Every structure is written in structure tokens, then in C-alpha cells.
Amino acid sequence: MHESRAGTGIAEASHPRVRAFSALAWTHLAWLLGVILFGAWVRITHSGAGCGEHWPLCDGEVIPFAPSTEKLIEFTHRATSGLLGLLSLALLVLSRWAPVDPRARRAAAATFALVVVESLLGAGLVLFHLVEDDASTARAVVVALHLANTLLLVAAATMAAFWARPGRPTGGRLGGPVAWTLAGLLVGVGMAGAVTALGDTLFPPAEVGGAPAVGDPHHFLVRLRVVHPVLAGLVGSALVVWAGMARARLGDAASRARTWGVQGIVLAQFTAGALTIALRAPGWMQLVHLFLADLLWVALVILLAGLPGRGEAGR
């Protein structure tokens, strides 16, 4: 019975439509990470209002002519985000057409739904003027929620790609509540990081003492600056310890390698975070820090999704 299922999984994995879905899913994930980084660049360059108060049009135009730098940056972000939506729709359609793992089919549906939510949150930032130099509580809240939805979207897209081929482990038994709690806390770290990045953009750290170079030193975005590094240090350290403990209980080489990957990215992220603070959060360093955060999230999702299920741990 087990050999029959394994043989069926191999046959389905070699199906042309399954291979096409897998290639599209990984392409979609790579494009998504690029769109996320470019979105951060929009914030860093204060280009969020580059297209005025219009959405989805740019200053009332489908394609703006003779655009300013800010308008070109914002329009490019909207165009690449629109292509992401089309890729998500294609992934959803292909998942219904190809004999992929049912988990990948559900992940593709979740990915498309979360892309829609992502676009609505982005539109809200523009339509409610929560862009450029706005330093309101409302903007901080929406930015944090935007980041949480982004991480859920990345998780869904990662699972769609990882589970594209039949025969993957059933997943999750060795993760347990501790692992999923750490994953939830990592989302919280990301939300705090989004608020900190907003504060660093609006109130750039000064040369000495970490006080803002401009603006109100008592502004809540400045006072919350310390939360993210402290929370990241605690959760990251716990994640390193958990990954080491999980590795000792794993029998398959692939999962063991993934625990090493998670630990390595956490340590790289610690280094990037320290450099970001030391260099006073330059835009390029913020992008490096964000990329490593996304990479860590992808690695953790793949680790948890690929953990052996009940009865498979010793194989």
C-alpha cells in the first residue's frame, strides 16, 4: 500500500502540469520577494504619494508621461504589484488544472486571497494619505498590519511552492505548539520592525545618542525604536535554541539541513540588525535587513511544512 502511494506520487510529480505549477510557484515567490523589497524602497524614498491621491491609476493616467522620480518609483511598484496579482491568479487557475498536492492547491487559493488583501491595504495607505511624511498612529497601525499580511502571503506562497510536488512529508508533528508560537512571535517581530523602519525613515537617527536628527524626539515612533531590536534578539535566540533541539530529534537529512539554515539566517540577521543600528539605518541597509527577514521567514515555513508527520520521524 505504501509503495503504491509512493509510486503514484512519483508519477504525479513528473506530470507536465505539475512541473509547470512548481516552476510558476517558485517564480511567483521570487517575484513576491522582489515586490516586497521595492515596496520598502518606495517608503525609503518618500515616494508613496508619487501618483497623487489616485488609485489604481497614477495621477489619473494609466501610464504617466514625463513622470518625476517619485512618480516613476510609485508607478513601477504598482506595475510590479499588478503583475504579482496576475501571477497569483495564474497560480490559482493552474492549481485547479494540475494534479498537485491538495495542500498546494489550498495554499494557492490562500495566496491569491492574501494578494487581494495586500493590494487593498496598499490602496488604503494612498487613499487615506498615510504616505510620504505622515507620522500618524493610523499609518503605524496600517503599516504593521500590512507587514503581517505580507508575511502570511509569503508563507502561503512558500507552501504552494514547497508542496507543489506530491509525496512531500505530511508535516508538523515535531513542530508542535512551541514552534508555531515562535512563528507567531516572529510575525510580531516583523510588525515591530515595520514600525521601526517607518520611524527611521521619518526621523533619521542622529550622529550621536540615537536621538532623531529632525522632528520631535518624544514622538512615539522614536520612543518605540528600542522595541524591535530587543524583541528580535529574544525571539531570534529562542528560534536558534529550538532549531538545535529539533535537529536532535530529526532523522531525515533534509529537515536537519533546514534547521541549520534557519540558525544561520538568524545569526546573519543579528549581524545585519547591528549594522543597521551602527550605520544609522541607511536605506540600502534597511533593504538588506528586510531581505534577510523574508529569507528567514521562508526558511522557517519550509522547515515547519516539511517536518515529518506522526509515524514518519524515524524514517
CB atoms within 10 A of CB 203: 20
Active site residues: 74
Q: Which residue stretches of the chain are H helix? A: 2-13, 16-44, 69-97, 102-127, 137-162, 176-202, 220-223, 227-249, 253-278, 283-305
Which DSSP category does 63 fall into? S
Amino acid present at 93: V
What span, in angstroms and rounded, lies between the C-alpha atoms of 162 and 83? 22
Q: Which of 83, 75, 38, 69 is nearest to 57 (CA)?
A: 75
Pair 117, 85: CB distance under 8 Å: no
